[in-house]
Amino acid sequence: MRVAMIGAGYVGLVSGACFADFGHEVCCVDTDPAKIEALKRGEIPIFEPGLDDLVTKNVREGRLSFATDLAEHVHKAEAVFIAVGTPSRRGDGHADLSYVHQAARDIAAALSGYTVIVTKSTVPVGTGDEVERIIRDVRPDADFAVVSNPEFLREGAAITDFKRPDRIVIGTEDDRARMVMTEIYRPLYLNQSPLLVTSRRTAELTKYAANAFLATKITFINEIADLCEKVGANVQDVARGIGLDNRIGAKFLHAGPGYGGSCFPKDTLALIKTAQDYDAPVRIVESVAAVNDQRKRAMGRKIIAACGGSVRGKTIALLGLTFKPNTDDMRDAPSLSIVTTLEDAGAHVRAYDPEGMAFAKTLLPNVEYAQDAYACARGADALVIVTEWDIFRALDLGRMKAALASPVVVDLRNIYNPDDMERRGFTYVSVGRPDVTMDETQDA
């Protein structure tokens, strides 16, 4: 099928490349000429494992292209996906739908023949109705249907999530639109991916409900971690104990510094605002958002406490800046609040991240950036693991201890064993587990 993907950002580029790999003819359209020219040169603007190879392959085989001319490609498309940004609107927290609405106007002017217009962007309930109204106003004669098809892509695993999804949600009550969407996703039939066809508003709400629930699981286990520290329990064992219950499940029960990224913070806030507008407040989600914001700042205080109560004049080494591994995304990353707290307390912060430093430099200009983990630790008064990149999971601890001015490790992702760190002579602080203090008689 001929597909136009409006927006060549994270969702649009991943979705477009995967649809092309299914055999569809896809053009990703974006208003940013520099981005489009870079994509034509094979330069991928985001870090996502496997995406560069997927894009290169499908461009070479003629199924994937990039353009700034929306009208030309919408005119000949059978399905047009809207995959533009919906950031939190400054001032009130609602999703900013200005890009979606503009895309709808531009699409309307270019429609020719029956076309399915699909909102892939994460949008509040009722957005599909507004998109349909905009298009009707611009082109009363147009033959089209508006469908909701929310994405459920995890950064760092987006290609796998797209090609082997837990479910595909399609919001439409139009039989022709359902047939088109079924044909687009037909290559996934062999994987037996569940296809849930529901109303448009239900599909829109499903996306927000899913993200809010996952954010709630993360926040729940983080609060249990705090309780574990007070009562002498181990949060990892608690998480394992409850996660083995099939009704709960083990995923998203890893205690840490709080959630961040492009989805959970803005989507929980947008859901809260939508619920307030409809006089059906979601109190649990409100608490989740508030607790998560507080937690990020609390992690900075945790580091200060591990350094004896003061970091003034000290150098603190941070390993990991992105909100999670296998992405370069710094949006709402816990590291932002942690660095701010440490700098406000008088610390000098040095950091290393395998992929996120270019973006981080624009957000954290006073941080010193290192070339690797060991250079980051050299002469530092404490080492903090903020993001659980694989390369941080098997550090040469002897070399690391020798590099540090003081053998203090604050592990906000619980990737090391406390007993092992104690044997190696570290003062080791983790999340929701008993701390261990350096034994001066032990060697590394």
Token readout for 347 is 């610390």
pLDDT tier at 92, thresholds 50, 70, 90: confident
Is 8 a residue whose pLDDT tops 80?
Answer: yes
Residue 57, Cβ neighbours under 10 Å: how many?
14
Q: What is the pLDDT of residues 102-131, one digit of tens each?
A: 999 999 999 999 999 999 999 999 999 999
Task: Identify the CA nearest to 107 among candidates 72, 66, 149.
Answer: 72
State the pLDDT at residue 93: 79
Coil/strand/helix, residue 74: helix
Q: Which residue is associated with the tokens 């001929």?
A: 2
* Alpha carbon separation from 438 to 27, 316, 401, 406, 407 (Å, rounded): 58, 18, 11, 10, 8
pLDDT tier at 438, thresholds 50, 70, 90: low
Q: What is the pLDDT of residues 312-345, one digit of tens each?
A: 999 999 999 999 999 999 999 999 999 999 999 9
Residue type, 249: G
Give CA–CA dist 249/316, Å, rounded: 36
Region 1-26: mean pLDDT is: 97
For all residues of the chain together, what is the average pLDDT? Answer: 95
> Torsion-angle region of residue 279: left (phi > 0), alpha (psi -120 to 50) or beta?
left
Identify the burial level of 394 via C-beta atoms within 10 angstroms of its C-beta, where 0-12 means exposed, 13-18 middle and 19 or more buried: exposed
Q: What is the pLDDT of residues 405-432, one digit of tens each?
A: 999 999 999 999 999 999 999 999 999 9
Residue 284, Cβ neighbours under 10 Å: how many?
12
Strands in 9-153 per DSSP E: 25-29, 64-67, 79-82, 115-119, 144-148
Where along the chain do its domains lie?
A: 2-197, 208-286, 292-429
Token readout for 145 is 């249907």
pLDDT tier at 390, thresholds 50, 70, 90: very high
Show the CA angle centred on residue 394, arms to residues 388 and 400, nearest 5°.
100
The domain 208-286 is placed in CATH, from the list 2.60.260.20, 2.60.40.420, 1.10.1040.10, 2.60.40.10, at 1.10.1040.10
Give CA–CA dist 222/243, Å, rounded: 14
Is 440 a residue whose pLDDT tops 80?
Answer: no
Share of the chain above pLDDT 90, in %: 94
Residue 342, Cβ neighbours under 10 Å: how many?
25
Token readout for 287 is 């608490």
Helix ranges restricted to H, 187-263:
200-231, 235-243
Q: Does domain 292-429 have CATH number 3.40.50.1390?
A: no
Backbone angles phi, psi at 34, to 5 degrees: -65, -40
Q: What is the pLDDT of residues 46-66, one digit of tens each?
A: 999 999 999 999 999 999 999
Instruction: Choose the catalytic residue: 228, 263, 307, 376.
Output: 263
Share of the chain above pLDDT 70, in %: 98
Token readout for 43 is 């330069």
State the pLDDT at residue 162: 96
State the pLDDT at residue 189: 80
Domain 2-197 identical in fold to domain 208-286:
no
Region 351-371: mean pLDDT is: 97
What lies within 8 Å, CB to CB, of 397 at 6+ separation is 421, 424, 426, 444
State the pLDDT at residue 319: 98
Region 266-279: mean pLDDT is: 95
State the pLDDT at residue 267: 95
Residue 209, Cβ neighbours under 10 Å: how many?
15
- The dotted CATH code for 2-197 is 3.40.50.720
Is 433 a residue whose pLDDT tops 80?
Answer: yes
b/e per residue 21-42 (b: at least 16 CB within 10 A):
bbebbbbbbbbeeebbeebeee
State the pLDDT at residue 224: 98
State the pLDDT at residue 444: 38
Is 441 a residue whose pLDDT tops 50?
Answer: no
- pTM for this structure? 0.92
Query: Is 263 part of the annotated catalytic residue set?
Result: yes
